[in-house]
Amino acid sequence: MPTPARCRLTVALSAATLALGLTACGSTESAPSVAEPDWDALSHDELVALAEEEGSVSVYAFTSRIASIEESFEATYPGIDVVAADISSTELITRLASEHRAGSATADVAYVSDAPVVVTELLADGVLEPYVPQRVSAALPTEFREPLVANRLSTKVLMYNEEAHPDGPPVQNLWELTEPAWTGRVMMVDPNVRGDYLDLVTEMSLRAEEMAQAYQAHFGREIVLDEGVEDAGLQFIADLYANDAVLVDDTDTVNSSVGTLGQASPPVGFTSYSDRRDNEDEGWALQVASGVAPSPGIVFPAMLGITANAQNPAAARLLIDYMMGDDSETGGAGFEPFYVAGDYPTREDVVAPADALSLEDLDAWSIDPQASAERRSEVADFLLTIQ
């Protein structure tokens, strides 16, 4: 019985939104005046010439470092004005989707994290389109060319206080964190509140087999799942919560809690490896728990895409090309703001910054945005049941 009523309400409401949408559309659907050039066939100079004709490019970015890109890009290509807005990934995704639906003015380029949400909210609806500069294509592993090109990787990994544990990580296996010695002393940002931490937990579930092997290695017996727990990854997080893991609302709180100097028995926590660069500045002793089995955490991409109705398609491509870095060892000016120890370039021909473990030595799981997108809402639901 409730179904027809609900349908009627839905119809009425969608009629209302449709009416609003219709008046909005008609006017902006501009037919492409010229046939799109074959972008991949253009030489760099031809692309620059087209881009200079357009004269500007608008970008939404999830990081304020886009301001230095704006500066250096404009210095390199004086004829092209970069208009940069930095907003959080969540808001960026909502904004792009809403603008796409309304047919309103929008950005040309999006620089965005939260890859699994991008896959479901933007790529599925055709809001963003990929562009891989041919120049760098060969140096990029497939997973960083699809579904969108990625220019760098960030991390959420287990970190500890180096001052309190000068001999290396206090744990060798993630499962140790579920034992009494670590009760109330493991910190992370609530994965029901921040997407990148949900990705971390989702990856544990996707890597359930490795989690099960690590369990066997640590406890010397095969894992037995609790009722209602689907896999070893989720069992780990359930045991971690049951061991009074401390949840907070932002990464900086984890950093200062774990890292602050002068603590007798500091907690450990999941945070960004690159925040280690603030150690001296902030009086921290953060260090990554490398070698912990099965893995200290995840690496995930920051991706670049072009909007479906980009007003400045050539300048947009030029900006992406620029942000992929030049052919020097460090990626040059276009990659400079992202060349940070603890983050990683996706290009195999760019040498990762010193002062941090190599990507191989870090041995973190690289997330697969598509697989993650399919799994993460179930994981979020599971987390709600084990509060």
Partner 1 sequence: MTSTRSRASDTARRPIVWLAAGVIAVLAVLVAAPLAGLVARTLDSDADGVWADVFSSPLSANLLWQPLTNSLLMGLGTGIGATVLGAFLAWVVVLSDVPGRRVIGVLAAVPFALPSFAIALAWESVFRNDRLGGTPGLLSALGVAVPDVLSWGAVPTVLVLTAHYYSLSFVIVSAALWGVGGDLVAAAELTGASRLRVATRIVLPAIAPALLSGFLLAFAEGVSNFAVPALLGLPVRFQTLSTRLYGAIATGDAARGYALSIVLVVVAGMVLWAGNRATRGRSFETITGKASRPRRVVTGAWRWPLFCTASLLVAVTAIVPGIVLVVSTVLRRTNSFSGGFTWHYWLGESDSSIAQGMRGVLRDPVVLSALQNTVLLGLAVAVGAGLLGLLGAYVVRRIVRPPLVGATIGFLSYVPFLIPGVAFGAAFIALFGAQIGPLPSLYGTFAILVLAGVAASVPFAFQTSRAALGQVSGELEEAAVLTGASGPRRFGRITAPLVSRGVLGGGVLVFVTMVRDLSLVVLLVTPATPLLATMTYRFASEGFTQHANAITVVIATISVVATIFARRLSDARPTGSTS
Site for partner 1 in 160-179 (CB under 8 A): none
Q: Closest approach of Cβ 261 to partner 1, in Å?
A: 7
**Smallest Cα–Cα separation from 307: which of 107, 62, 33, 125?**
107
Distance CA 30, CA 53 (A): 19
Distance CA 387, CA 237 (A): 11
Candidates 9, 49, 181, 217; binder of partner 1 (CB under 8 A) is 9
Q: Cβ distance 247 to 262 under 8 Å? A: no
Site for partner 1 in 200-219 (CB under 8 A): none
- Compare residues 225 and 248 and give the one whose CB is closer to partner 1: 248
Q: Closest approach of Cβ 319 to partner 1, in Å?
A: 15
Site for partner 1 in 305-344 (CB under 8 A): none
Candidates 76, 94, 311, 370; binder of partner 1 (CB under 8 A) is 94
> Does 25 sit near partner 1 (CB under 8 A)?
yes
Q: What are the angstrom distances between the C-alpha of 205 and each of 81, 223, 232, 376?
A: 45, 14, 7, 9
Q: Closest approach of Cβ 260 to partner 1, in Å?
A: 5
Amino acid present at 354: A
Amino acid present at 292: V
Q: Closest approach of Cβ 323 to partner 1, in Å?
A: 17
Distance CA 159, CA 285 (A): 10
Candidates 91, 146, 327, 348; binder of partner 1 (CB under 8 A) is 91
Q: Closest approach of Cβ 309 to partner 1, in Å?
A: 12
Site for partner 1 in 59-88 (CB under 8 A): 63-65, 83-88
Candidates 152, 156, 194, 347; binder of partner 1 (CB under 8 A) is 194
Distance CA 72, CA 84 (A): 13
> Does 23 sit near partner 1 (CB under 8 A)?
yes
- Compare residues 62 and 215 and give the one whose CB is closer to partner 1: 62
Site for partner 1 in 361-380 (CB under 8 A): 376-377, 380
Q: Cβ distance 136 to 332 under 8 Å? A: no
- Compare residues 195 and 334 and give the one whose CB is closer to partner 1: 195
Binding string to partner 1 for residues 243 to 282, with x set by CB under 8 A, is what? ---xxxx-xxx--xxxxxxxx--xx-------x-xx--xx
Paired tokens of 130: 């990929």
Q: Show Cβ contacts of residue 38 under 8 Å, excluding neighbours closer than 6 positions.
A: none
DSSP state of 85: E
- Compare residues 102 and 139 and give the one whose CB is closer to partner 1: 102
> Does 181 sit near partner 1 (CB under 8 A)?
no
Question: DSSP per residue over 120-135, as a string?
Answer: IIIITTTSEE----HH
Q: Cβ distance 342 to 276 under 8 Å? A: yes
Describe the crossing of helices 313-323 and 66-76 by its angle, rounded to 10 degrees. 110
- Binding footprint of partner 1, residue count (CB under 8 A): 81
Site for partner 1 in 119-148 (CB under 8 A): 120-121
